[in-house]
Every structure is written in C-alpha cells, then in structure tokens.
Amino acid sequence: MDKLHEKYSHLLEYIKGLGSAAAAFSGGVDSAFLLAAAKEALGDEVIAVTAVSPSLPKRELADAEALCRQLSVRLTVFQSDELELEEYRKNPKNRCYYCKHRLFTRILEIAEKNGLAHVIEGSNKDDDGDYRPGMQALAKLGIISPLRECGFTKAEIRRLSQEMGLPTYDKPSAACLASRIPYGDEITAEKLCMAEQAEDMLVGLGLKQLRVRIHGDIARIEVLPEQFDTVMMHREEIVHKFRLIGFRYVSLDLQGYRTGSLNEAIN
C-alpha cells in the first residue's frame, strides 16, 4: 500500500471514530470525496446536508443530488438565509465568518435532530494558504474538517476521487457566488443572479475553470489563459448576453483565473 492509500485508510479510521455525522455537502470536489469516505466509514450513520440560497449556483444543487443518489446517502436540503444578515450583506472582509456561522449553526441543528454526533466539512490542507475567515466560525462551532486533519491536498483528493469513480474528480473548483463581489460592495440577490447567469453562459460555451467578478456595471471575466482564444472567438455573443443580464461593460482579465483574486485587495 502506497503512502496516499495509507493516508486514505487513516482518514476512514478517523471518520469511523466519530460514530456518526452530518456532512456539509456542496456538490464540489472536496465535499464529494469526504461524503464518499464518510459513507464507506459510517454507512447509514452519515447524511449529507446542502444549503440552498442565492449564493449557490443551481447547477451545484443538481450535482449534489445526483451524487447522493450514486452513493445512496440521504440528502437533507434547507433554505439558507444569510442575505438576512446585515453583516453579510455589507460584505466586509470577514463576510465569510458571518455566513459560515449562520450556515453551520443550522447544520448542527439538523445533526442534533437526526441524532448524529458531529458535523463534518470538506476543507483541505491547501485551504490553509488562502484568506479564509470562515475557518474561525468552524472552529468556534466545533465543526470537524477530516481532510485537513489528515493532511489531504486537492491533488490527492482528485486522484483518489478518480479511482473511486466519483464524477467530481475533474470538476472545476467552485466557490459561493458572493466571492464574485468585491469586499465593501453590498451583496444583493440581484448581483448573485447576474454572476450565476453570466457564468452559466460561459460554461455553455465549453469554458471550465472560470469566474465572473462584478465591479459595479463591469463584468471581469477570469478564465484559464489557454481558454482566452475561446472567449475571443465568442466575443460578440458574450458581450450581447452580458448586456442583457445587466452589465454595461465586459472585460477579460489578462492575468487569468486564480483562486480568491478579490483577496488581492486585502494586501
């Protein structure tokens, strides 16, 4: 057994030691891998919990439902209400703290209602290198992050996900739609909807890892540099659609896609 598979065996033992759990499940790469491992370790003593809100793209919910059917895991879906929080809507630099605290408080309630001992979530070791105030909320609420605890990187998660037959193994990294709005700019359901519609349009053109950041009436498109040509090929179509969505100007970020680009303003 190589080191990666030894690490996975350790992960299973770690999760099994929890006894039972509710897994926060977004349908992304990390939470899918964690849910599959939890199902293997805990059997029917794990459920998946997905929050539905304007900040979650509808395509992510569909993916979450499909994977739960594949894994035979019971899925609980609830309506998240973070937009009711003034601290969240004002979009301060620690916005994620307020969102995660509200979100995981609800998941803890669901876990307790179902007689489950813990709540687990899918942060991995690579997440330690970015600005993530939401981690403070997780620590305060006692949420467990098995992938971080066991030292899994995103690359390792993708490799094992492929071996396990998970359709998420090559899925682009995702983040809530609020991450498209610069800190200090108010978060509204309208802006979140604009970002979702714009990104759905680009996905429909075959673009994969991407973000559409909203700067007032300007849409700043981030895609991988190797897909710049695709954007330019569909330039007129993109501009037309984005204007219908509500943007006045459309730009292509020449630095390309990068995780948490809006965090650059913090530094």
Residues with a known catalytic role: 176
CA–CA gap between residue 21 and residue 111 (Å, rounded): 7
Give 194's DSSP letter. H
54-78 burial by CB neighbour count: b if 16+ within 10 A, else e?
bbbbeebbebbbebbeebebebbee
Q: Is 19 left (phi over 0), alpha (psi -120 to 50) or beta?
A: left
Give 209's DSSP letter. S
Give phi and psi for 51, each to the nearest 5.
Answer: -95, 130
Residues present in the chain in total = 267
Distance in Å from the first CA to the final CA of the chain = 43
What is residue 216's three-state secondary structure?
coil
